[in-house]
Structure 1
Amino acid sequence: MTPPIQPVDDQRIILHIGTGSFHRAHQAWYLHRLRESGDSRDRAWSIAAGNIRSDMNTTHEALAAQGGTYTLETVSPDGAREYESIRSIQRVLPWSPDHASLIEYGSSRACRIISFTVTESGYYLDNHDRLDVSHPDVAADLNGGCGTIYGVLAAILEARRRTDGGPVTLQCCDNLRHNGEKFRTGFAEFLTRRSLDALKQWVQTHTTTPSAMVDRITPRPTPDTCARVLAATGLDDRCPVMSESFAQWVIEDRFIADRPAWEKVGVELVDSVLPYEEAKIRVLNATHSCVAWAGMLVGLEYIHEGTRDAEIARFAHDYITQDVIPSLLPSPIDLSRYRDVVLDRFSNPYIRDTNERVAADGFTKLSGFVVPTLRDSFARGEVPAASAMLPALFLAFLTRWADGKLHIDYRDSLQDIAGIRAMLAAEDPVAAFCSDRRVWGGLTSDSRLIGAVRDAYGTVNRWLASRPETLRRVS
């Protein structure tokens, strides 16, 4: 049972949807810091957390058994570990197919913010950032279901509208460019297609959706995390989280119904998040994938191993320096320094973030993280040889995976296994690779793109041929 909702004056609730590791290492951690260091008003804020899907129930139930309290272990590049007992999640909402608890808390006047972490693919947007109505999950919700963020929020906000719950901020916390704007567009189309006209009008006038940039490397927890927490704290924590010591959160300050004083604990409240998210997505996220794909190809298990490999580090450094930085200037950020900070973070040997985790969902990552830099470089009249290495590394990764040389269970939300194998079996795999409009948008089948990727693919294969000793480790 979840505790009853108290009178509005006593508390301010953030309903968060998605209790995975990243939320608990990032947003919940920031609110915990504010509650611990602030005055009574700051301590009035708390999180009620639940999930749309049942696949997290084991962790979620462990969190509920601990009253929402869990341990966050952070580790710096020099190996310093710190342990915090995070207590900002005051209510762990039980999962049910009808999402009754989410609707109850989200429709309450005590709830001022509904935030969500559902991963990039959880927004079901096509290459033009329109709702992908052909996706089975979306189609089911358009027929009255409640299995996506759109269906769940429609149910929550309809209850809020009918009970006069008042305005509420919808806060996207996923790694998605222009996340608030894109979510709002997708949600509006969803409501239109569901013929929920009154709710759509209510959403337009009673909600805001500020965009945000989120950053903290948070690998999947392992049994080792539980053992370290027990040794360091004496707590037998069944749902701890481990992350790097670095954290960043930049939010557009457009909240319609009050917000925590996050600026007191290092959150950056800005007018526009655009330059921060562009730097993060193109420098950090794209480079993360670059290191993962390259590392997998030469038999490395962890991100830090690839970052410390001179040749892989050069791929990453050249991509940022030659193509990304020119595309982002002018910027309020010292981009060269940001590059160096990112690569230093990736080299942290204590995070043990796996290449397999980061390498997944590559088509989506190419589309969001890499294509914008390729497009900008071509627009400047340049051949983006350094950026073309990233799709070439991914294509080589797919080829070796399909040949059985990489023993992983690869999955991709944008392309099914049969489609990947058909692409690789084409007479010209590079041209077939560059022909998927969902990935390449306006660059689809562009001769400049095909030429750059073909040249880079040759470079990748020559690089791999020069390292036969590492290839044997994954064969």
Structure 2
Amino acid sequence: MQKLNSSLVNSDFSFLEDLSVQKYPENLPERVIQFGEGNFLRAFADWMIHLLNKQNLFNGRVVVAQPIKEGLADMVNEQDGLYTLLLRGLRDGKPVEEKEVISSISRCINPYTQWDAYLKCAEDPLIEYVISNTTEAGITFDKEDKFENQPPTSYPGKLTSYLYHRFQCFKGDTTKGMVIIPCELIDRNGDNLKKAVLQYIELWNLPQEFAQWVVENNHFLNTLVDRVVTGYPRDEIKEITASLGYQDSLVNTGELFHLWVIEGPKELAERLPFHKVGLNVVWTEDMTPHRTRKVRVLNGAHTASVPAAFLYGLETVGEMMDHEVMGKYVRQIIQDEIVPSIDLDKNMLVDFAHAVVERFQNPYIKHYLLSILLNSSSKFKARVLPSILEYHKLNGRLPQKLVFSLAALIAVYKDGKIDGTGMQAIRDAGEFVMKDDVWALEFFAAAWSNFDGSQQSAKAVAELVLKNTRLWDKDLTETAGFTDCLGEYLYKITTNGMQKTVAELV
């Protein structure tokens, strides 16, 4: 069976009626340098650029820089940058699968072995965009990083070297700045990346004129990205290869839903006209409402529902959504308590909430509840607590199911024993390892240590948790009724069990 590459794509693909294939665009110039060759960007930004190219709306390709020493550069180049993308999910309640060979990547450079080739890209006036996804830890400043390193160890360090080479090559030309679009999952990612670059300029004693050029002639855009990308389908690859009729080492999979919110000048939207091919890309002057919507509705629904579902005995999000009781619980949390707590346009929120439910039901994605439970205490503070407090402020009463969700989370830590950096815990379905900040694990273990099964003891656990300002940045016992309500739910869970308690709640 032939391997996917440019010669295969330029041959006759007519036998694959359900596969969208564009002829390999060898003559398109490189216009984007991308830091990161992983699954997410290939199923997100590179897919979008591919769709623009199909409509002659961008006419440019992506040269990828491998951000760490070990990566996929050789594999990407072996396939001439081509890969098959499978997008799968529910649309209006019906399963949908879209297949396409993506041809927006020209090549992949490994700066650890091809430093000169990497810097050569900075000399190309047509490469005017930077896109990155180097994980949440990628945008960091390392004071031990050195300018003479080839390459610097951090992504901001590599970007600083790139921009300085471009500045020198074009003698500070104000028209040769870059549009820099990070996709890392941190708040204000563009601002943080810009800050790190300026820190390197200072650390490395680079010219002040260069710092001024970076600030005045480069756009560092804040973004919000949203798409579940499940990556290489290891468990299905034999069947997929047989259906494709060729071998592809870079098959990538993801959900149908996508959202890219970019905070930047409106004129850039015309230079990157994603809206003209129907993509869900929003250019805005303030991304805060979009971030609030995603964090509170999508992430908040996950964080609020998963502890109860896990203790109930379920394993995946799909199981949770299909379950008669837990499925109802999740939908009620979103519709009755999260959406009403957010002071944004309700039509926008309801539409997004509908999409979230459909995404949670996606039969092609196996999202394990235990993996979502990772670092739950900090997630709860950012994603769910604001909904509880805002709901209370707006309605003068506590949202019962969201308070119950905190009780369910606290119950996850009950009877757990610290083991290294994790907690050996137990539920009715058996033992499991809970991962969280060690100090948080130690706190919850201590909070449960004197519990004797009584209602008063459950209230004492609730009070200890709510008073912990390290967890919540405030004393939550000051919120009227919170301690009593939380204590009551803890008592019911420990006395009657999760299944009976949730059934009564919904």
Normalised by the length of structure 2, the TM-score is 0.73
After superposition, give the CA deviation of every residue in 1:43-63 in whole Å (9 maximum; x if it has no partner).
x311122332246x2x45433
Matched, 1:35 2:53: yes
> 1:311-322, aligned counterparts within 5 Å?
311-322=325-336
Aligned-pair CA distance for 1:117: 1.4
The 1:163–1:330 alpha-carbon spacing in structure 2 relative to 1, beyond 3 Å, is same
Aligned-pair CA distance for 1:71: 1.1
- Match of residue 403 from structure 1: 424
Question: Could you tell me which of 26, 30, 33 is aligned with 1:15?
Answer: 33
- 1:293 and 1:394 in contact (8 A); partners too: yes
Matched, 1:105 2:111: no
The 1-side partners of 2:480 and 2:199 are apart by 34
- Match of residue 459 from structure 1: 489
Q: In terms of Rg, which structure is larger? A: 2
The 2-side partners of 1:140 and 1:392 are apart by 44
- Match of residue 365 from structure 1: 379
- 1:214 and 1:250 in contact (8 A); partners too: yes
The 1:333–1:179 alpha-carbon spacing in structure 2 relative to 1, beyond 3 Å, is farther
Question: Could you tell me which of 226, 234, 237 is aligned with 1:215?
Answer: 226
Question: Could you tell me which of 434, 438, 447 is aligned with 2:477?
Answer: 447
The 1-side partners of 2:466 and 2:120 are apart by 46
Question: Could you tell me which of 212, 226, 245 is aligned with 1:201?
Answer: 212
- 1:426 and 1:432 in contact (8 A); partners too: no
Give the match's secondary structure for 1:32: helix
- Match of residue 426 from structure 1: 446
> 1:104-183, aligned counterparts within 5 Å?
104-106=120-122, 108-123=124-139, 138-141=142-145, 146-164=152-170, 166-183=176-193
- 1:389 and 1:456 in contact (8 A); partners too: yes
The 1:396–1:113 alpha-carbon spacing in structure 2 relative to 1, beyond 3 Å, is farther
Name whichever of 61-70 and 328-337 sits farther off.
Answer: 328-337
Question: Could you tell me which of 296, 301, 304 is aligned with 1:287?
Answer: 301
- Match of residue 76 from structure 1: 89
Between the two structures, name the one with larger relative contact order (CA 8 Å, sep ≥ 6): 1
The 1-side partners of 2:187 and 2:382 are apart by 8
Structure 2 counterpart of 1:118, which letter?
T
Name whichever of 326-335 and 347-356 sits farther off.
Answer: 326-335
- Match of residue 233 from structure 1: 244
The 1-side partners of 2:308 and 2:66 are apart by 34
Give the match's secondary structure for 1:90: strand
The 1:436–1:173 alpha-carbon spacing in structure 2 relative to 1, beyond 3 Å, is farther
The 1-side partners of 2:114 and 2:346 are apart by 45
Aligned-pair CA distance for 1:216: 1.7
Aligned-pair CA distance for 1:25: 1.3
> What are structure 2's unaligned runs of at least 5 residues?
1-26, 417-421, 449-460, 501-506
Aligned-pair CA distance for 1:342: 0.9
The 1:98–1:432 alpha-carbon spacing in structure 2 relative to 1, beyond 3 Å, is farther
Name whichever of 192-201 and 208-217 sits farther off.
Answer: 192-201
Name whichever of 174-183 and 190-199 sits farther off.
Answer: 190-199
Aligned-pair CA distance for 1:367: 4.6
Structure 2 counterpart of 1:154, which letter?
T
The 1:337–1:436 alpha-carbon spacing in structure 2 relative to 1, beyond 3 Å, is same
Aligned-pair CA distance for 1:219: 2.4
- Match of residue 262 from structure 2: 251
The 2-side partners of 1:48 and 1:178 are apart by 25
The 1:241–1:104 alpha-carbon spacing in structure 2 relative to 1, beyond 3 Å, is same
The 1:89–1:452 alpha-carbon spacing in structure 2 relative to 1, beyond 3 Å, is farther
Matched, 1:262 2:298: no
Q: RMSD value over aligned CA atoms?
A: 3.7
Give the match's secondary structure for 2:95: coil
Give the match's secondary structure for 2:50: helix
The 1:327–1:433 alpha-carbon spacing in structure 2 relative to 1, beyond 3 Å, is closer
The 1-side partners of 2:230 and 2:487 are apart by 29
Aligned-pair CA distance for 1:95: 5.2
- Match of residue 357 from structure 2: 343
The 1-side partners of 2:313 and 2:166 are apart by 52
Identity of aligned residues (%): 20
Give the match's secondary structure for 1:68: coil
The 1:461–1:106 alpha-carbon spacing in structure 2 relative to 1, beyond 3 Å, is farther
- Match of residue 49 from structure 1: 64
The 2-side partners of 1:459 and 1:100 are apart by 62
The 1:115–1:217 alpha-carbon spacing in structure 2 relative to 1, beyond 3 Å, is same
Aligned-pair CA distance for 1:31: 1.0
Aligned-pair CA distance for 1:328: 3.0
The 1:148–1:301 alpha-carbon spacing in structure 2 relative to 1, beyond 3 Å, is farther
Normalised by the length of structure 1, the TM-score is 0.77
Aligned-pair CA distance for 1:293: 3.7
The 2-side partners of 1:253 and 1:362 are apart by 32
- Match of residue 103 from structure 2: 87
Aligned-pair CA distance for 1:179: 3.5
The 1-side partners of 2:123 and 2:467 are apart by 46
The 1-side partners of 2:153 and 2:469 are apart by 28
The 1:312–1:19 alpha-carbon spacing in structure 2 relative to 1, beyond 3 Å, is farther
Structure 2 counterpart of 1:466, which letter?
G
Give the match's secondary structure for 1:109: coil
- 1:396 and 1:457 in contact (8 A); partners too: no
The 1:205–1:113 alpha-carbon spacing in structure 2 relative to 1, beyond 3 Å, is same
Structure 1 counterpart of 2:190, which letter?
G
Aligned-pair CA distance for 1:76: 2.4
- 2:296 and 2:387 in contact (8 A); partners too: yes
Give the match's secondary structure for 1:114: strand
Aligned-pair CA distance for 1:343: 0.7
The 2-side partners of 1:67 and 1:20 are apart by 16
- Match of residue 134 from structure 1: none
Aligned-pair CA distance for 1:192: 5.1
The 1:208–1:249 alpha-carbon spacing in structure 2 relative to 1, beyond 3 Å, is same
The 2-side partners of 1:280 and 1:375 are apart by 18
The 2-side partners of 1:310 and 1:302 are apart by 14
Give the match's secondary structure for 1:224: coil
The 2-side partners of 1:354 and 1:223 are apart by 16
